Amino acid sequence: MTSPSTTLSLVDSDPAELAVDAIVIGVYSQRPEGDATADGFADTLLLAAGAESIAAAFDGNLTRTLALLGATGGAGEVTKVATLGTVSAPVLAVVGLGSEPSGAAPAPETLRRVAGTAVRALAGAGRVALALPLPDDADAPAALRAVAEGALLGGYRFAGYKTKPQPTLRPPVAEVQIAVPDAADAAAQAEIRRAAVVTAAVRLTRDWVNAAPNELRPPSFAEKVTEAAQAAGLGVEVLDENALTEGGYGGILAVGNGSAAPPRLVKISYTPAGAEGGKRVALVGKGITFDTGGVSIKPAQGMWEMKSDMGGAAAVAATMLAVAELKPAVAVHAYVPMAENMPSGTAYRPGDVVTMYNGKRVEVLNTDAEGRMVLGDAMARACEDGCDYLLETSTLTGGQVVALGKRIAGVMGSDELCERVRVAGDATGEPAWPMPLPDEIRKGMESDIADILQVQAGMDRSGHMLQGGIFLREFVTEDVAWAHIDIAGPSYHSGEATGYWTKGGTGVPVRTLVALIEDIAANG
């Protein structure tokens, strides 16, 4: 099932003369002094750069018209105006940018969000042009990238399972043009190509996360990932339940044995020419295709969202497809453990002791803390195969949502790599905040009978997000720089569409992972 996509191109023609169905310009919420008109109406809106020819076509009356229509310029607000022949496009969509920034142009994330909002608001249009304010200095590539990503992601819509046509549901915009000073500029064209590749990975992540859990159980998920990876020219190794048993992957088997759909571990490999002896990156993503909590079953309310508990795996697998297209000069190997956490006569239990892939023995207290069990095996395998950097991402703990909310991921691990995750997240609009791994929490995870407790003694949820990071640290060798990115909140958006996020899977943190891989390839 593939969701409809939007194509993207650059144009350098006068926006007022573009043969499109709608043109998007920006407006700020206030100007330094409100100029009173003859009838006493204060002109408090300020058109952003890029809209000059549009404003001229309206004889300078556009901002007053917008204000009369109720426009405030608030960030993300969209006001549509029929142009009645004043410009080539029949519809003008004016998107609010908030207050005028002190710099020359809005921040990239602002542009990313308003581009997404505008394209989604114009669903049903065949061709749309964006004439948003872009800087002409060193910040230009980041701004153009942001607009391109927002436009391609804001128009996303999951294909879904409806059997009848939905006449009131307009199709996504088919084509988006971005107005720039020089459409043939090589750097600008490179940004557009990169945006198309990266957002395709984000959209695929969203498709996988949004899929019904009966359609994407571990064996079928492994098949889909394998097909996509092989089509991209990547190496693939799949371990089924027999290979997992023979290999000693106790954590993956403990979680997966409760389901009639057996677990899998998928390894995806990218090795560029000349990468021998260079830095190696390992990606690991949690692939719990549905999480009932197992024997420690979850409450029924909201359990349907547990189809998204494989968001980390989806992001990692899709990131590898982007890597195959972008071809960074660094070897990247992904490890995707897949299991369905179900209660049954063969499910693992509280009180069990599980021998993990690296030989450590874990005393289980809560079968709903299953993600760390499958991840521990995958991370140990990644370290055994050899890597210099290990980036793991997972919808691991409700504690992340409590501590940081639905937009900001938590990141734990090696200080320097965690800081790089934070910087990359800020640049891509996928913020992550570094969190500590306190010794006192590790002391609370000492087991009387095994090497470590799966969760803190007495089921204490204090520092719950940090417990997950501390547990995963046990499966990383000392010579590997590692970062655990907890995306329990930001990987799934249960509210109405906002910015370039639509309802359902968000695709976080694909863009962060791609940026980190590119950074490691360039800087080590």
Cα–Cα distance, 19 to 219 (Å, whole number): 48
> At how many degrees (to 10) do helices 186-210 and 218-231 cross?
160
Cα–Cα distance, 474 to 495 (Å, whole number): 36
31: exposed, middle or buried (C-beta count within 10 Å: 0-12, 13-18, 19+)? middle
The two three-digit tokens of residue 448, written as one number = 């009387």
CA angle 331, 335, 340 (to 5 degrees): 165
Of 74, 154, 141, 156, nearest to 108 (Cα)? 141
Question: Would you tell me how many other CB atoms lie within 10 Å of the CB of residue 504?
Answer: 22
Q: Are 235 and 35 contacting, i.e. CB atoms less than 8 angstroms apart? A: no
DSSP state of 428: H
Q: Give yes or no: 372 in active site.
A: yes
- Distances, alpha carbon 314 to alpha carbons 161, 301, 335, 368, 510, in Å: 20, 24, 11, 20, 9
User: Number of C-alpha atoms within 13 angstroms, CB side, residue 254?
Assistant: 34
Q: Are 128 and 119 contacting, i.e. CB atoms less than 8 angstroms apart? A: yes
> At how many degrees (to 10) do helices 140-154 and 186-210 cross?
30
Query: Which member of 372, 381, 422, 511 is catalytic?
Result: 372
Query: Which member of 298, 442, 473, 503 is catalytic?
Result: 298
Of 502, 510, 427, 425, nearest to 116 (Cα)? 502
Q: Give yes or no: 298 in active site.
A: yes
Cα–Cα distance, 472 to 413 (Å, whole number): 9
Of 144, 157, 131, 169, nearest to 48 (Cα)? 131
- Distances, alpha carbon 201 to alpha carbons 6, 383, 431, 463, 511, in Å: 14, 26, 19, 33, 9
The residues assigned a catalytic role are 298, 372
